[in-house]
Amino acid sequence: AYELIGTRYRLGGTRPETGFDCSGFVRYLYEQNFGLPLPPSAPLQYRIGFRVERWELEPGDLVFFRTRRGWHVGMYVGNDSFIHAPNRRKTVSVSPLFSDPYWRRAFVGARRILVPEPAEALLSDDLAGNN
């Protein structure tokens, strides 16, 4: 996931070459790493997997928000952070989750999608702190 930091935002985008929106970004991660297709929108993605309490979050869990612009989704990466495609003015980036008042207020829940191998595989070893 970290290698996609800096990829531009594109509404409806699902590929690094053309850009991502938030749901397209997490869809791409799960399809490329696990061959697991996710639904095409954040509200539909929120309906799959298992509910996870905020104190149970693990890397790879999907985190969901309701903002003025509607639904938003990203992937938890540990250390109170998540990676996401924020909006048309920003590129794919890592943001603080509960330590940022904006995201803390907008947070609606998290889901864990069962995958055939540890979700930590989505993170590159050097940036995940596993040098």
Q: How far apart are CA 100 and CA 70, in angstroms?
A: 18
**23: how many CB neighbours lie within 10 A of its CB?**
27
Q: How far apart are CA 123 and CA 77, in angstroms?
A: 8
DSSP assigned state of 125: T
Query: Where would I find the H helices in the chain?
Result: 22-34, 42-45, 101-106
- Strands 50-52 and 93-96 come out as unpaired
Q: How far apart are CA 58 and CA 126, in angstroms?
A: 18
Which residues are part of the catalytic machinery?
Answer: 22, 72, 84
According to DSSP, the residues that pair with 51 across neighbouring strands are 111
